[in-house]
Each structure stands twice: as structure tokens, then as C-alpha cells.
A and B are shown apart, each in its own frame.
Chain A
Amino acid sequence: MYYFDHSATTPPFNEVTDTVLEVMKNYYGNPSSLHQFGIDAEQLMRRARHVISESLDVNGEQLIFTSGGTESNNMAIKGVAFQYQNRGKHLITTEIEHASVYESFKQLEQLGYQVTYLPVNHTGQVSIEDLQNALTDETILVSIMHVNNEVGRIQPIKKIASLLKKHKRIFFHVDAIQSIGKIPLYPEEWGIDLMSVSAHKLNGPKGVGVLYYRKGIKLFPLLSGGGQEAGYRSGTENVPLIVGMAKAIRISMDKQKGNLEHLYRLRKKLTDFILQIPELKLNGSVDPEHMAPHIVHFSFTGMKSEVIVHALEKKGIYVSTRSACASGESKASRVLKAMGTSENNANSGIRISMSAEHSVEDIDTLCNQLKQVVHDYKGFTK
């Protein structure tokens, strides 16, 4: 079995499942309870906070535990939009954001906010100039993803952050869900105000995530109740998953540096292969420095993506079409269309997302099978 859908989700580390099980069994106290069981659970939470903040190189007080990436993104965007609406009602994002960001902005439009969706070039990159031109006196939030979940394009977050530093009234949110644990990102140092992370994208449990927010920012809470998480996210904390997430983030960040070179080697092998096959078209930038090391996206022109997914599945190879969350849709990919890809190509996208556990031989196998599939199906393209 060859699993190449790590951008959809990753298998949890064994160390993580062990941790979750042990905490669930032995530390079931409510962290808000007064007695020892409560204190034990609270201690675990505090330590998890500490471990995560050390790993992400941020201040530990400014972390909100959430139910995952979607909630982190919603909380950042709506939290800022609602809290600071008196300052202005203009928001900026891009056309290629994940649905949890994109749809949040669509909702805010219905509530009377004005949203600028920045275009991207054919490689999937946002232009700093466009961003600069879009800024107005009414702008309160810019939300731009670090690594695109579909094609793997990296956005120039550091440059954007330094541009926005000159605009003290504007908050900068980064959806780092596909990048944390894969490529370097220094939220505090670069001046990122809010950053979303999801545990299951880096071999942690599903159903848990974290939102980092810079000191001094206030967020309008989306969930009201007992006032957990400094009042920003009420609800009894999911201690086992939070502790499991801390472990997954720590391990991933420890490994990140060592994995980077290996992943880029795998990526190069795969892209070199794709560039040789005339029926396949590589999406994103050809410069590997612009691309996340673990994601490769290409189109088999004229062939419906789903057909390829199933053809490879028969051979024990698991890939995806684009964002797993949107796979059910029959419409062409919004991201590919934003990159100026033709409707035909946008309907034919395949995403390969790797992990550092993969070997060069695994990629060889993938390439051979892919070659076979292209050979078998090229007669059926539209």
C-alpha cells in the first residue's frame, strides 16, 4: 500500500496514539475542577501549551486550543472581523485559500463586510504589489495561506508580514496548516498576528488544532460559555487530544529540518518524471524553492481526475484530486482556475502528497504505475 495523500491527513505517530490513550484512561479529570484530578488535567494542558509554544517558537500564553484547522481559521477571521468592525469593514484574502478561510469570508460578505480576493499568477503566487494596492484605510485583516493545500505553492509570508508591519491597524492571519512541520515559519519573529495549525496534518490526532495570536490582539469569541481558553473558546478542553497534538507538533518540528532535504529529493524525482511525460502537465512553479517539499500537483489533460485516482487505487496507490474537503464537488478546482488553468486541465488535477517516511523506491513505484495508467488511459481523453 502506498499512501500519497498526506495533505488530506496523516497517520498518527505511534507515540501520539500511545499518549492519547494513556491520557484518556488516566487523566480524565476536567481541567477546571478544583480537586486533584482537575489539577492533574490542567497541568497536562499547561505542559502541552508549553511544549507547543517552544516548538512553534512563540509565547505560550497566546495559544487557543480548537477543534482543528477549520475552527482555527474561522476563529481568527471572524474573531478579528467582529471584534474590530468599528475600525473598518474591509478584509483581504486570496482566491486560492482553503474552503474554511474562503467560505468564512463569503459569510462575512453577507454580513456587510467588503472583501478583496487577491488574484494569483499562473504559478499560484500572490503579488505583493496587488496586496499593497488593495490596502485601504478601512482594512482590518489580511488572511493569506502559507502553503496552498492543493498545488503546494508557497506564498511570500515573510515579505507580506514586513509590509503589513507598517500598517499597525491591520492584522495578518496565516493559515499554516499545510506548512507547519514541513517548512520553516517563524510567526513571532516575522510579525504574524494569527496563525492556524491543525494536528492531523502532522501525524497528530484529528479533531484538535491550535490558533496562535499575538499578544494584544482581542478576538470576538465564536463559542460562549464557561470561559475556557481565556474566554476565547468555551467548552471543556479535550485533554487527550491536546496532549497528543503537543507531542505530534514537537516530533514534527524536531524532524522538520532533517526531513526537508529528503522530501525535496523525492519531489524532484517525481517532478522530473512528470515533466518527461507529454500527457502530464505540472502545476505550480517549476522552481522547487517556490513549492512545498511534500506536495506535487499535475493535470492529465482531458482525463477526469477521479478516473486516475481510482485507476491508481486499483494498484494500491492512494492519491487525491485536490483538497479532500472538496473532492465530492464536481466543479473544476477554484484554485486551478484562479491560476489561469483551462477548464479542461482544472478538471484533470491530481495531487500527490508525500511524507518523509517515503523512500526513493516508493517514488519509483509511483512513477512506474503512473506511467502505466497514462499509457492505458490516454486514448480515452476528451
Chain B
Amino acid sequence: MKPDYILLRLGELTLKGRNRSVFENRVLTHIRDFLKSYPNIQIIKNYGRVYIQLNGESFEGIAEQLKKIFGLVSFSPVKKVDTELEAMREVSLELMNNLVPKPNTFKVNVRRAYKHFPHDSQELNHLIGGYVLHHTPGLKVNVHEPDVILKVEVREEGTFIYSETISGLGGFPLGSSGKSMLMLSGGIDSPVAGYLAMKRGMKLEAVHFHSAPFTSERAKQKVIDLAKELTNYSGKMKVHIVPFTEIQTQFNEHARKNLIITFMRRAMLRITEKLAEKNGNLGIITGDNLGQVASQTLSSLNVIGRATGMPILRPLITMDKNEIIKIAQDINTFETSILPYEDCCTIFLPKNPATNPNLGLVERIEDSMEWLPQSIEDAVENTETIIVSNQEEEKLSHLF
């Protein structure tokens, strides 16, 4: 049965007091942006509710898009009928008959906002529920734990009937918590970290360290593809590709092998910080997860983190690998992440990386690397910035 409207529920926003309308508008702008390919829809803020009027557009297609909107807690396909008992009964019955799987029990929940309607809510519960019951063999009423709650909202301009509630992503609307730089490696963790940060309302730019010819074009493409998956939730994203070969080879020649990772990560943070400042970002997001690799011991995180004064957010820090993989699968990055291309963190990997580096020592050695500050400047200077979006690149579209 084709719905006429979609009722939207913008959950956590209700906590936001006077900022509420700002947040609400942000979600609605985002929704409008994501539903551009459905020109006939209208977004209506009315009766203290937010509706999408479908005007004949496909509910299924729009529902798929709505499942990618942060800040939207749930939504329901709604049928609108004239505020008139016969019509309410007919559509209620039809809606119940169309449910898959068929419910065994139900109850009706009427809200009568239009107080001049001749029957009150109690009567309507009976009049509609009785009618559905009478015309549906096998169906029973259960007011405590029904399989389905049939909701009927009676208003002067029309009555809204629905039973289904589809979960949205929840979280905060995109951009409501500022903008950060995501260090995107190509592994499983960093895209998940980015997703979770976005879910808390952060807008992201990504930074990737590329070490051609030690790492292949495919590794770079992989990161672009991962960013593209994330843009399914954000619309568009800047990806900064930093040429990192020079710095890495220098470290490899001059630094103590077991500290290479430490130096490398610190250099990455410094470059990311500079790119963040250039682009108006206030934080750095990483996929760090406590104890996974040498650079992720508390001691390493301490020494590495000291390289920047900017807040480093690590959404995955205490998660289990299984939980991370589960999210990666849900957001469709897992399959790409596990493609086996060498990335900048796996080349020049020492046999025994330091898990307990000494901050004083690291700083002293870095101070003696006279080439380092200039190399960092150069890397920032030569960074290639591309914009990826979930709208497939136009260049080849005519071929499909």
C-alpha cells in the first residue's frame, strides 16, 4: 500500500532546548540534500511534527536515503484519508492486510487532535479496531503486547494512519559538533572511527599518507573508495593526500629502527595539524584502538600524541575488534578495507617496534633531525586535495 507521507522523528534534538530549531533545520537541510533526486517531495513542518509529503515519489527509495541521515531517530510511512469514519476504517483494514509478516495480535491507538470529530478516542478505538477485527480472520486484540500498534491521528484536514516504525541512525545532525580531520589509512578501523565521529555530529575531512612508489596507486584508490563510502552519510568530503615518501625514507635511513613508527606517527600528526588549521578543523580523529599494535600502547599514544596540541579523538579506543568489524560491515567499508595493498604504515615496518618509547629520547633525536621541519612543510605544501562525493564521478558517467 503506497504511503502518502513519511512522518519523521528527530529524537535527541528535543534535549537541545532553544537550539532545537537550529538542529532541526540542519537535519532537514541534510535530508533535502539527500533527496534531491526526488523533485516532487515536499518537507512540511506542521502540527509540531515533521512530514515528507511524497506526491507520488517512491517510498522505498526515499526510505533507503533516510536510513543514512544522522539525527533522524525513526520514521513511519503514513497514509492520509479524509476525516470520516468509513474512510478511516477502510484504510486501517487495508493497511493491516498489507503487513508482512501477518500479525497475530494488534491494538488501535487513536489520537483525536480535532476535538469536533463526533466520536472520541475511546469510541474510535472500538469503531476502527472492531471493524478490522471483524474483517480479518485469525487476528486478535492484545492491548498489552500487540504485534502491531495501528496508530490513527485524527485532524481536521485529514487523518493519518500508520503502523510501521523504521529505525534511523540517531545521533546528532551532521556538522552540529564542528569539523575534524580524520586520519584515514585504508585499514578497517579508521573509516569506522570516522563514521562514529560523524554520528556525533562532526563534519570530516580526511587525510591520507601516500608513499609512492612503495605504495601503489591502488592503495590510494582504496582510501578514496573508503572516503566515498563515508560520503554516503555526509554527501561530500575533502580528502588530502600527503606525499610521505620523502619523510619515510629519511627516517628509514637516519632513525633508530625500533622508533621509526613513533617518529612517523608524530610527523603525520604534525602534518595533519597543519592541514587542519589551514582548513578550519578543530580536532583530529584516529582509528587508534588500545593495544592493537605497537603504536597503540598507552605509552606510545602518550609519546605520539605529544606532537600536537590539538585534541585527538579516538572513538574506537576501547572497542573490541569484533565490534569494529561489525560496524565496518554495516557501513560497507569492510570489503574495501581488507583489500591487500601495502599502505604507508606497513612499509619499513621494523621487526621490534618500541612499545614503550621514551618521550625525552624521542624529542632529542627529533631535534637533531634538521631536515624534518622543512620536509613537513614540503609535505603540507605538496598535498593533493580532492573532493569525493557519493554522486559517482561525472567523468565516466556517460559510459553507464
Contact = CB atoms under 8 A, between A and B. Distances in A.
Residue from B218, B221, B400 whose CB has the most chain A CB atoms within 10 Å: B400
Given A47-B392, A61-B335, A246 B217 contact: no
B400 A247 contact: yes
Contacts of A19: 398-400
Contact of B217 (A35, A44, A48, A250): A35
B216 A247 contact: no
Contacts of A22: 399
Contacts of B335: 61
B396 interface: yes
Contacts of A39: 217-218, 221
Contact of A247 (B217, B392, B399): B399
Interface string A241-265: 0010011001000000000000000
B218 A47 contact: no
B105 to A, nearest CB: 24
18 contacts: A19-B398, A19-B399, A22-B399, A23-B399, A34-B216, A34-B217, A34-B218, A36-B217, A39-B217, A43-B396, A47-B396, A47-B399, A48-B400, A51-B400, A243-B399, A243-B400, A246-B400, A250-B400
A61 B217 CA distance: 22
Q: Is the interface of A mostly helix, strand, loop or mixed?
A: helix
Interface in A228-251: 243, 246-247, 250
Contacts of A35: 217
A48 B217 CA distance: 20
Given A19-B399, A44-B396, 17 more contacts: A19-B398, A19-B400, A22-B399, A23-B399, A34-B216, A34-B217, A39-B218, A43-B221, A44-B399, A47-B400, A48-B400, A61-B335, A243-B399, A243-B400, A246-B400, A247-B400, A250-B400
A243 to B, nearest CB: 6
Kindly state the interface size class of chain A when it binds its partner. Answer: 10 to 19
Q: Is the interface of B mostly helix, strand, loop or mixed?
A: helix
Interface in A40-72: 43-44, 47-48, 51, 61
Interface in B206-224: 216-218, 221
A19 B396 CA distance: 10
Contacts of B400: 19, 47-48, 51, 243, 246-247, 250
A47 B392 CA distance: 9
A80 to B, nearest CB: 24
Contacts of A51: 400
Nearest to A34: B216
A158 to B, nearest CB: 13
Contacts of A48: 400
Interface in B369-399: 392, 396, 398-399
A265 to B, nearest CB: 23
Contacts of B398: 19
Contacts of A44: 396, 399
The 4 lowest CB-CB distance pairs between A and B, nearest first, are A51-B400, A19-B399, A39-B217, A247-B400
A164 to B, nearest CB: 19
Interface string B95-126: 00000000000000000000000000000000
A48 B399 CA distance: 9
A36 B218 CA distance: 9
Contacts of B217: 34-36, 39
A61 B400 CA distance: 18
Nearest to B221: A39
Residue from B216, B398, B399, B400 whose CB has the most chain A CB atoms within 10 Å: B399
A113 to B, nearest CB: 34
A43 to B, nearest CB: 8
Contacts of A43: 221, 396
A44 B216 CA distance: 18
A163 B399 CA distance: 40
A291 B221 CA distance: 47
Interface in A144-187: none
Contacts of A247: 399-400
A34 B218 CA distance: 8
Interface string A9-44: 000000000010011000000000011100100011
B338 to A, nearest CB: 12
A273 to B, nearest CB: 36
A23 B398 CA distance: 11
Nearest to A15: B398
Contacts of A246: 400
Contacts of B396: 43-44, 47
Interface in B269-309: none
Contacts of A36: 217
Contacts of A23: 399
